Amino acid sequence: MNPRALIPVLLVAVLLGLLGSVYVVREGQVGLVLQLGRVVRSDVPPGLHFKIPLMQTARVFDRRFNAVDFTPERYLTSERKDVSVDFVAIVAISDVADFYRATYRGGGSIADMEARAADRLAPIIKDSLRNEINARTLTQLVSGDRGEVIAKQLESINQGAATLGMRIIDIRLKQIDLPTDSDVIQQVYNRMRAERKQVASRLRAEGEEQARLIRAQADRDQAVILAEAERDAQTLRGEGDAEAARIYGEAANRDPAFFAFQRSLDAYRRSFEGGDSVIVLERDDPFLQYMRSDR
């Protein structure tokens, strides 16, 4: 066989060997080297690295912070009220070798390993949070400092997470709900209705009191206005009567005969105004002096 014909084969073999011996760990990642399934090198930093072809394999994991959602968990408060707590954990890989050993289980992709890690973290976090939630009332849990609930248990949670090669950076309570199949919701609604009715009753009572005060003030103002108007009217009537008497007096003094005649005509008009009046008088009665023919 011509030795020159082997050169391309050797070049391809060398190239494949080089490609199989090089791997890259990017920024924010950590590498792990396995030899026949055993960890021989861990916490490989970012950069270009080499491994033995065919005998060794490299796996690269994301070491950045990741948000892991968990299914909502039901807890009991100190009042024995049922609540559903939804939370998310910020996690990171602290020891890639421990993480691999705890989650590999004979196969699967890195995504599968991360899912197994989340499944194993869930009971650790939920059991730790249970102690804090069980010690609080519903009001304290909803309106209190949620960060305090997490801070007291974060250290113990990380002790459990360390067995998985992971570290919990933070846990956030996203939502606290009352389960729909619990009677707590109805109790809360009833209490809210009672509080709203109490507020409404207080507002109605205050409104009625204000209305009574306004009506009383209006009645007083009305009485004062009417009294002042009646006083002014009486004053004006008195002044008018006095002025009329003065005018009548002046008129009577100017022509007493005419004034007597005018008064007699007014008396006749009032006496015979109905049209069917009958007055019986003597012939010489002074009342008829202006009705005699000789006048």
pLDDT tens track for 40-69: 888 888 888 888 777 888 888 888 888 888
Give the residue from 160, 157, 172 showing the smallest Cα distance to 70: 172
- More confident call, 212 vs 186: 212
Total Cβ atoms within 10 A of residue 266: 10
The residue ranges of every structural domain in the chain are 3-62, 66-182, 188-254, 257-295
Task: Map residue 115 onto helix, strand or coil.
Answer: helix
- Digit-coded pLDDT (tens) for 84-124: 888 888 999 888 888 888 888 766 788 888 888 888 898 88
Q: Does the pLDDT value for residue 36 go beyond 60?
A: yes
Write down the residue that tokens 């049209």 correspond to.
275
Rounded-to-integer distance, Cα 196 and Cα 181, Å: 25
Give the CATH fold of the 66-182 domain: Tetrahydropterin Synthase; Chain A (3.30.479)
Q: What is the pLDDT of residues 203-226, one digit of tens each?
A: 999 999 999 999 999 999 999 999
pLDDT given at position 218: 92
Could you tell me where the beta strands, DSSP code E, fall in the chain?
Answer: 22-25, 29-35, 38-44, 47-50, 56-62, 66-69, 73-76, 82-93, 166-177
- In this predicted model, which residue has the larger pLDDT, 159 or 144? 159
**Which of the two residues, 274 and 177, has the higher pLDDT score?**
177
- Whether the per-residue pLDDT at 16 is higher than 90: the answer is no
C-alpha triplet 285, 289, 290: angle, nearest 5°: 150
The predicted pLDDT at position 275 comes to 66
Q: How far is CA 98 from CA 28, 42, 94, 200, in A?
A: 18, 10, 9, 62
Q: What is the pLDDT of residue 211?
A: 92
Residue 171 near residue 154, CB atoms below 8 Å: yes
Q: Which residue has the higher pLDDT, 180 or 36?
A: 36
Contact status, residue 179 vs residue 74, Cβ threshold 8 Å: yes
What residue type is 262 in one-letter code? Q
Query: Which pLDDT value is given to residue 288?
Result: 62
Specify which of 78-82, 152-156, 202-206 reaches the highest per-range mean pLDDT: 202-206
Which of 9-23, 82-96, 138-152 bottoms out in mean pLDDT, i.e. has the lowest? Answer: 9-23
CA atoms in the 13 A half-sphere facing the CB of 168: 30
